[in-house]
Every structure is written in C-alpha cells, then in structure tokens.
A and B are shown apart, each in its own frame.
Chain A
Amino acid sequence: MAYFLAQSGNALSLGGIYALLALGLAVVYSILGLINFAHGALMTLAGYVLVFAAVLGLPFYLSAPLAILVVMASAVLLERIAFRPVRGASGATMLLTSFAVAVLLQLAFQLFISTRPQVVPLPDFLTATVDLGSFAIGVNRVISVVVAVVVLIALNLFLKRTVLGLAMRAAADDFNVTRLMGIRANRVIATAFALSGLLAAVAAVLWIAQRSSVDPMMGLVPVLKAFIATTLGGLGSLLGAVLGGLLLGAIEIYLAAYLPDAALPFHGAITLGVVILVLVVRPQGLVGASRELGK
C-alpha cells in the first residue's frame, strides 16, 4: 500500500508536468492549428536560463521567475519571427516549420552552449523528503503537484474571468468567427504563445527540480510525451490536454512500478501501446473534440 501511495505521488507529479506541457501545446493548437515542436526547445531554454542565473549568483527564487519571463518573451518572439509567415497555411506546412525550427534551436544550444549536460544548482529544500507516515516522498514531487494545480487553477480563472481569457476561449472554439467579432488576431495569438511559454517554463523548472541538470535535448522527450497526451485527451481541447497529461503520467509510472522485470525494457513501448488501446476505443480522445463538417 505504501508503495502504491508513493507511486501515486510520482504519477501525479509526472502527470502534472505532462499536463502543463500538453496544455501549452493545446492553447496554441486550438487557436492556430499549429503543433509546436519547438515547445521542447522553450523548455530547454528555461533550463539554460536557470544555469546562467546561477552563474550570476541569483538565488533560485529569483532565477525561476526570470526563466519564466525569458521563455514567455521568447515564445512570443518565436511566433513573430518563425511562425507568422506560415499562419493560416495547411497543418502540414506549420508542422514542418515548427519541426525545422525545433531542430535548429537544438543545434544552436549544442553549438553555442554545449552538448554536455550542465548542472543546475538547486536549493537544499528541493532535495529533501517529507515523511508521510508509511512512506516518504520528495519535496520536489510535492511542490511539482502543488505548482501544477495552482497554475492550472490560475489559468482556468484567467480564461473564465478576464476579457482576454474569454477571447482566447472563443478563438479556440472558432478563430475565424472570433476575428469577425473584432478581436485582434495578433493579440490573441501573442497571448497564446506567452501562455504556452509560461507553461513550458514552469514545467521545465519542475522537471529540472527532479534532475538538476539540463542538456540540449532535455525538452524533446517530455514534449513528445505531451504530444501524445494532447492526442490522448482529445486534440484541440484544453481540458483534454490536462486530463491526457495526468493519465499518461499515471500509465507511465504505474507500468514502471508493476511491470514484470522481463517487460521493463519495453516500458516505453508498452506505455504508448496502452495509449493506442485507449484511442482505439475513443478515436477522438478522452474529451472528444470532434468537430462536425471537418471544420
């Protein structure tokens, strides 16, 4: 039981990170139809900001917000420079563009920083553990869950209670109609990228809090998982992205915990296999954002 509870903590912590990443992807996808491969590079960038801030002697409670701000600005800039020329193009065109941009950014990290992992100094409290009676759990995991929940609630409030948030939700539902209502497209899109940058950076800080290092490829795997999570939840649905992220985290952790040793080398493949099984039953994902008439 204690083992199960401990694993559940891990599942929540990993699932929370996936949920943040998937939500960041979904915010952009629902508005632009762009599957943003470069999301992983944004995550990696957050890691490098933490490294440089530490070199400059900034404490963690300052370097983390700094990383978030830098990544938000970079995400907006990325849209302005790389993605605006293909706005409104076909999904394949946008996807290839973001794929090429992602690889270029990763190569830039390798060339200008280093191919080797850089250590990110973490404050002591992050590496401690909390004793919860029958089992112990790392503070970083607890914080990860708490931060993910707080960010998701805050985002929900933003989307539901503010005019800009309302415009975002309307745009996610039908961007063309929203534009006809007089909402400025550039403002909505810039906000979407800023939000996705925020979510990528928060996820990166939480990710690094459990690993304390960053390398040029850091963002690749978690963001690929987040892609899977958005599909699992229902591509284009914000709620689906969060649910998909949590579910994927759970599948991954529980399989790792309970698979027989012989099957462990196939852990990743089996995880994705389970996802595919879910999608066989629900081709539109958990929250089927199936749109009529192929809109």
Chain B
Amino acid sequence: MSGPSAQRATATLLGALLLVIPLAVAAVLFASFASAGLQRTYTLFLINLVAVLGLGAFSGNSGILSFGHVAFIGLGAYASAILTLPLATKASALPHLPTLLAGLEWGLPAAFVASLVLVAVFGLAVGLPIMRMGGAAAVIATLGLLLIVHGILIGATDFTRGANAFLGVPRLTNIWTALGVAVLALLVVRWFRDSAAGRQLRASREDETAAKAIGVDVLRRRLVAWTLSATIAAASGVLLAHFLGAFSPSKFYFDDTLTLLTMLIVGGMTTVSGAFFGAIVVTLTIEVLRRVESGVDVFGWETPELFGLTQAGLCVLILIVMYRRPAGMFARLELGEAWIRGWLGRAGGTPVAAASTPVAADVAPGLLRADGITKNFAGLRALDAVDLSLAPGEIVGLIGPNGSGKTTLVNVISGLILPDSGKVAVDGADVTDWPSFEVARAGIGRTFQNIRLFGQLSVLDNVETAALAARGTEAVPADPNARARELLARFGLLDLADRPASALDYGAQRRLEIARALALNPRYLLLDEPAAGMNPTESNELLRDLAALRAETGIGLLVIDHDMSLIMRLCDRIVVLNRGEKIAEGSAAEVQSNPAVIEAYIGRKRARQGASIPTSEGVS
C-alpha cells in the first residue's frame, strides 16, 4: 500500500494514538498513585468511554440518535454474568436455568467473546427492521428497543432473577482490562469512521438522497454501523457487569441512557474526539454533583440532600450545549486531523497529474431510455407518457416552462421516485423499480436543482466518497483518492480540497456537484440546472467543460436549464416539456421555430404575432 490511502491510514492511526496515549498514561498514573476510590472512578470512566464510543460509531456517523444502546449494554452484562457465575451461586440463585447454561462457569475472555457475538446477532436482527424505517421513526424504534429489552430482562426471571438484583458476579474488571478494551474500542471506532463504509455513512448523514444518488447503499451502511456499535456497547456491558458485581434491570434504563447521550453530544457527536471529551466532562460533572447531592459540609454547615441533582446537572449540560453549540463543545473536527493531514501532505507530497486520463474515450454502444413515463402527484399529472432517450456521447437538452415536469422526469430516471407507469432502461436493463443507489451504480449520475452536497465533509471527501461507492461496479476507479483529485483538478477545485463543501461559493458548489457525480464513472449524467445562479462568464466556462467532457469520455449528458443560450449552443438535440407532456423534440433550430414551443413559452397571443423564444435569460 502506498500513496494517499496509506497516508490516510497513517493519519487515522496517529489521530487514534493522540487519544490512546493520554488514556494509557493516565491509567498508569491512577494505578500507581491514586486511591482505590479514584482508581474505581477511572475504571468506570473507561467503561463509559467504551459505551459512548460504541454509540458514536452509529449515531455519530449516521446522524440517527439511539436511545436503545443501553439495552445492548444490559444484554452484554447479563450474558456475561450468566456465563461466568460460579456454579454454586448459580445453582442457588438461578435454579431454573436450562441445564446447558447451568453447568457453565467460564472465564472472562470466553464469556466476553460469547456475549459480544450474542449481542451482535441480536443487534443485526433488530437492526434490520429499525434501519428500514429511517430518520425520526428509527429513533423512536430505538426507544421501543430499550423498552422491549427492559421488559424481557424483567420477564425472563429464570435467567435474570427478574427485577431483583443479580448478585455474585465475579469482579474481574480492573483498570487494565478496562483500559485494554477502551483502547481497542478507540482504534476500531476511529478506523471505522475513516473507512470507506464510515465515510459513506457520514455522507448519508449530511444528505441521504444525495448519498443514494452517488451509489451509497445507505441501508446497508447503517446496518453495519448499527451492528458494530451494538457489539462495542455490549463490550462495555460485560466490563460493567464484572466491575459492579451486582445489578438489576433498572440499571439499564433511562438514567444511564441520559448519561450516555450526554457524553455523546457534549463533546460533539460526529467525532471520536468529541465522544472522548464528552465522557471526561460528564464523568467529572457526575463525580462533583454526586458528592453535592448526598450533602456536603460547607464550613461546618451541612447542605441538605438534593434528590436528582446529578440528573438535573446532566440535563442542564445538554440544554447549554443544544442552545449554544449544537455541534458540541469540540465542534466537528477530529483531534489532530487537520494538522496530521497537513504534515503528511507536506512530507509525502501528492503531485497530481494535471492531464486527466479519459475513462472511455471511444463511445460505447448502449442507450438510456425512458418509455411512456407517467407520474401523478395527488391528482396532478406531472408527467404524461413521456419518452426520452440519451445515447453515450450525446448531449440532450431538456427544457420547458416552470412546473413542466423536467425535474420529476430526472427523479424518475434516477430512481428517486417510482413512475405510475412507464419503463426506464439502461443499456437494455430495466431499472424502473431499482432503488436510486443501484441506478447510480448502473451508470447514471445526477446533480440536483437545489445543490445537495455533503456540507460538513471536505471538498475532497465529497468526491472521494462517490469514487468509493463506485467500487464494486464495472467502472472501477483504480484509486478513489487519485480519481477524486483528478476530478477536482479538472473543475478547478483542487486548491479548495480540504475546505468543507458548505464553505464554497455558489458556482464552485455547482461544479463540485458535477465532479462528485462524475466520480461514479457514469455513462450518463443528468444535470438539473447546472448553470443556475452562474454569471455569463461562469456559464461559458461550464459550457466549455461539458463539451470537453463529452469529447474525452464519451459520456451522455442530459441538461436541464433555463439558460436558452447555453442549451442552444451545447445540445445536439432538445426535448421540450410542457405540463408534463413532450411537445417537441429536435435540433435547436427545429425547436426554436416550433409553434407549440413558442406558445408554451410566451403564450398563444404573442406566438401568433410571430415572436420567437428568447435565446437567453437576462443580459449576456
């Protein structure tokens, strides 16, 4: 491995070490010098850190909060407790345990692994329906999961002693076991965040629709992250069980959910460093408030017991962060990410070849066809039996007055909405009812009228994510990073590669969106108003870029725009829609002189007076 991907891996590892080293040093210090009580506090902190890292692996990357992870912690704790309970205790405490389990008294390593496998399988099983719901409904479903598991832990008295305390669990967790698991969790979570899967998931967090349009299988990415995060949460549960020695189902319910969520969001939900610092801040807050809660001696005056002070403190912490810095105290940057990258960048140096290699210079045979597409929205006919074809190497303009159905047609072709009738085929394959990410992988790229970038990801990551998603399709980019840089160079964005996409100006955002769509190596590219908001100079540049693109790569372009000058100069063929119907098709000259087109654009009366459609909007 060499080049950018090795560099990225090094950056990930160094970033993780920045957190691991202080963690280990602190453990040594606590173990050598601190009181037993403080050592226990630090051990508990490490256990909580594992839990919040697990939660962050899902919620941070997907943007979907989970109220259900404490359930995984609880299941991990009970599973390991049952497996390790000494036989004598087991016989008296859990007399109705199935014989298979009744005879087991495993050590911690075996129980640890078995518990994690168990919870991983359970997490995958419940994740399947929950991830399908998506968004807010999924959040509520995770809440349902917490309730279900709580109910099961109380109901399954033969295994758990019901609501009673589960006692006598061997106390096998010490500061070193907790440190080991925490370091492992840190490395895994940090690696996952920077992995192809993690970056694709983060892209979907920024914009789910756009992620699908560049070929990201959002459902699958979420499911993988969910299962991984459940497993890490279970690891924290195992540690907790053998740290506490005794617990009941009420330990794994709303109080701990509140603590865990606070840890996640105080530092910043989207980064591993955020979870790390959140765990520290919350642990300190809890330690202080707990002492005040039970009454402290202030200059001889005993404060009264303040019931619920700890919880209230956490709530206030949440509110402060939500009101003042919703992205968290440590914002969105991973610790050290920027300077490690910068340092590696200078040291390694990745010169980018200015000349881009054409992907498919010879025009491949094939055709994108939409046949008889009809779509109704609540009784309104948006598209009425529209036919459209686009060959590789061809540039087709799609024009029509506002509301004529242009964007709807692009949405149908790209798989975002299902037509009521009609068929979409790519090179002979019927893709009509394929999910949009598969349509994207089949070779159809697109941009959006209302630019949809992954705002918090860097310019480079926006494009690289798309190149990553394209792996496994026929058009395999050799190195996603190199491919992304090449595209950025082509669209004059390379200097901005490390900036967040949301910081770009309007024209640059439009160009970035095109670059991102091209990272898929599509054979057909659908551009929805690429020149909107551009000045004449910019739109002339765009015209030149698009024409050059077609000449070099043999891609087929479908261009929607209101800039008639651009459309007339760029397109080989123009399709005109009006009120959902195709009213004309032909060369620029043909449609310009077509009476139906003139009428659609400027009305019947003026059409009779021999007016022609404007060739350009505004000054040019």
- The residues of A with any CB-CB pair to B shorter than 8 Å are 29, 33, 35, 82, 85-86, 89-93, 95-97, 99-101, 103-104, 107, 110-111, 115, 224, 227-228, 230-231, 235, 265-269, 272-273, 275-276, 279-280, 283-285, 292-294
Q: Does B527 contact A (CB under 8 A)?
A: no
B136–A275 CB distance below 8 A: no
A293 with B209: CB separation less than 8 A: yes
Whether B140 lies near A96 (C-beta < 8 A) is no
Chain A: CB-nearest residue to B416? A293
- With known contacts A104-B315, A268-B151, A269-B152, A228–B144 Cβ distance under 8 A: yes
Which residue of A96, A99, A111 is within 8 Å of B308 (Cβ)?
A: A111
B372 within 8 Å of A (CB atoms): no
- From B5-13, B317-325, B576-584, the one touching the partner chain is B317-325
Which residue on B lies nearest to A269, using beta carbons? Answer: B151
* Shortest Cβ gap from B489 to chain A (Å): 31
Q: How far is the CA of A91 from the CA of B157 in the complex (A)?
A: 38
Shortest CB-to-CB span from B138 to chain A, Å, is 9
Residues of chain B within 8 A of A29, CB atoms compared: 136
Q: Does B269 contact A (CB under 8 A)?
A: yes
Q: Report yes or no: A86 in contact with B129, Cβ–Cβ below 8 A.
A: no
In the complex the two chains form, is B318's CB within 8 Å of A99's CB? Answer: yes
Apart from A279-B129, A283-B133: 16 A-B pairs, beta carbons within 8 A:
A29-B136, A85-B322, A86-B323, A90-B326, A91-B135, A96-B261, A107-B311, A110-B308, A235-B140, A266-B155, A268-B147, A269-B148, A269-B152, A279-B132, A280-B129, A283-B134
Q: Which residue of A lies closest to B306 (CB)?
A: A111
Q: Nearest chain B CB to A223's CB is how many angstroms away?
A: 11
- Min Cβ gap B276→A in Å is 19
0/1 interface trace, chain B 55-90, chain A, CB 8 Å (1 if under): 000010001110000000000000000000000000
A55 to chain B, nearest CB (A): 23
Interface pairs (15), CB distance under 8 Å: A92-B65, A100-B319, A103-B311, A107-B307, A115-B307, A224-B143, A228-B144, A231-B144, A265-B155, A269-B147, A269-B149, A272-B144, A279-B133, A283-B137, A293-B416
Q: Are B136 and A99 in contact (CB under 8 A)?
A: no
Contacts of B340 in A (CB 8 A): none
Q: State which of B63, B126, B147 has its C-beta within 8 Å of the C-beta of A92.
A: B63
Collect the chain B residues with CB atoms within 8 Å of residue A110's CB.
Answer: 307-308
> Once the chains bind, are A269 and B155 in contact (CB under 8 Å)?
yes
**Which residue from chain B places its CB closest to the CB of A263 in the assembled complex?**
B155
Report if B17 contacts A (CB, 8 A): no
Which residues of B does A touch, CB under 8 Å? 59, 63-65, 126, 128-130, 132-137, 139-141, 143-144, 147-149, 151-152, 154-157, 162, 207-209, 258, 261, 265, 269, 307-308, 311-312, 314-316, 318-319, 322-323, 326, 411, 416-417
Residue of A nearest to B417 (CB): A292
Which residues of chain B have C-beta atoms less than 8 A from A269's C-beta? 147-149, 151-152, 155
Residue of A nearest to B323 (CB): A85
User: Smallest Cβ distance from A289 to chain B, in angstroms?
Assistant: 10
A180 to chain B, nearest CB (A): 15
Q: Which 9 A-B pairs have the closest CB atoms?
A: A265-B155, A269-B151, A100-B315, A100-B318, A268-B151, A107-B308, A283-B132, A266-B155, A294-B209
- In the complex, the answer to whether A293 meets B411 with C-beta atoms within 8 Å is yes
Cα–Cα distance between A285 and B137 once the two chains are bound (Å)? 9
B123: min CB distance to chain A, Å: 14
Report chain A residues within 8 Å CB of B265: 92, 96
How close is A230's CB to chain B, nearest CB, in angstroms? 7
User: Chain A's nearest CB lies how many Å from the CB of B154?
Assistant: 7
Residues of A within 8 A of B134 (CB): 283
Question: With the chains together, A115 CA to B269 CA distance in Å?
Answer: 34
Q: With A and B bound together, what is the CA distance between A18 and B170 in angstroms?
A: 44
* A265 close to B148 (CB less than 8 A): no
Q: Are A224 and B147 in contact (CB under 8 A)?
A: yes
B133 and chain A: residue at smallest CB distance: A283
Give the residues in chain B near A100, CB-CB below 8 Å: 314-316, 318-319, 322
Q: Are B148 and A268 in contact (CB under 8 A)?
A: yes
| Residues of A close to B155: CB separation below 8 A | 265-266, 269
Decide: A92 near B269, CB < 8 A? Known: A86-B326, A293-B209: yes
B323 proximity list for chain A (CB < 8 A): 85-86, 97
Q: A110-B308, A279-B129 are in contact. Are A93 and B140 (CB under 8 A)?
A: no
A82 to B319, CA, bound (A): 9
Evaluate contact between A235 and B136: CB separation under 8 angstroms: yes
Q: How far is the CB of A182 from chain B (nearest CB, A)?
A: 21
CB B456 to nearest CB in A, in angstroms, measures: 11
Most buried by B among A29, A86, A272, A284: A272
User: In the bound complex, do residue A33 and residue B311 qualify as a contact, i.e. CB atoms below 8 Å apart?
Assistant: no
Contact among A82, A96, A228 with B65 in the assembled complex (CB-CB below 8 Å): A96
Q: Are A228 and B140 in touch, CB under 8 angstroms?
A: yes
Complex CA distance for A35 and B136, rounded to whole angstroms: 8
Inter-chain CA distance A283–B134, complex, in Å, is 8
* A101 lies within 8 A of B319 (CB): yes
A268 to B139, CA, bound (A): 19
Q: Do B318 and A97 touch (CB < 8 A)?
A: yes
Considering the chains assembled together, what is the distance between the CA atoms of A35 and B140 in angstroms?
A: 9
Q: How far is the CB of B220 from chain A (nearest CB, A)?
A: 15
> Which residue of the partner chain B has the closest CB to A220?
B254
B159 to chain A, nearest CB (A): 12
Contact of A292 among B139, B312, B315, B416 (CB under 8 A): B416
Partner of A266, one of B151, B319, B411: B151
- Pairwise interchain contact A292-B411, C-beta atoms closer than 8 A: yes
- Taking CB atoms, residues of chain B closer than 8 Å to A279 are 129, 132-133, 137, 141
Contact B136 A33 (CB under 8 A): yes
A266 to B162, CA, bound (A): 11
Q: Provide the residues of chain A in CB contact with B416, threshold 8 Å.
A: 292-293
B326 CB contacts on chain A under 8 angstroms: 86, 89-90, 93
Q: Tell me whether B133 and A231 are in contact (CB under 8 A).
A: yes
B118 to chain A, nearest CB (A): 17
For B63, the chain A residues whose CB sits under 8 A away are 90, 92
CA distance A101 to B258 in the complex (A): 12
**A60 → chain B closest CB, angstroms:** 32
Chain A residue nearest in CB terms to B155: A265
**A228 CB to nearest chain B CB (Å):** 6
Report how far A35 CA is from B261 CA in the complex, Å.
16
A residues within 8 A CB of B133? 231, 279, 283-284
Question: A91 contacts B136, CB within 8 Å?
Answer: yes
In the assembled complex, how far is the CB of residue A142 from the closest CB belonging to chain B, in whole angstroms? 30
B411 touches A99 (CB 8 A): no
Most buried by A among B139, B315, B318, B319: B315
Residues of B within 8 A of A280 (CB): 128-129, 132
Give Cα A89 to B326, complex, Å.
Answer: 8
Contact partners of B307 in chain A: CB under 8 A: 107, 110-111, 115
Closest beta carbon of chain A to B41's beta carbon, Å? 24
Residue in A99, A103, A107, A231 whose beta carbon sits within 8 Å of that of B137 in the complex: A231
CB B201 to nearest CB in A, in angstroms, measures 15
Expressed in whole angstroms, the Cα–Cα distance for A97 and B265 within the complex equals 11
A86 touches B322 (CB 8 A): yes
Which chain B residues border A93 with CB–CB below 8 Å? Answer: 322, 326
Q: Is the CB of A35 within 8 A of B151?
A: no
B140 CB contact (under 8 Å) in A86, A104, A111, A227? A227
Chain B residue nearest to A268 in the complex (CB): B151
Chain B residue at minimum C-beta to C-beta distance from A273: B148
Q: Which residue of B has the minimal Cβ distance to A33?
A: B136
Complex CA gap A268/B149 in Å reads 10
Determine the chain B residues whose CB is within 8 A of the CB of A293 once the complex forms: 209, 411, 416-417
The interface residues of chain A lying within 8 Å CB-to-CB of B144 are 227-228, 231, 272, 275-276
- Complex Cα spacing A104 to B309, Å: 10
Residues of B within 8 A of A33 (CB): 136
Q: Which residues of B contact A292 (CB under 8 A)?
A: 411, 416-417
CA distance A294 to B213 in the complex (A): 12
Q: Which residues of A contact B318 (CB under 8 A)?
A: 96-97, 99-100
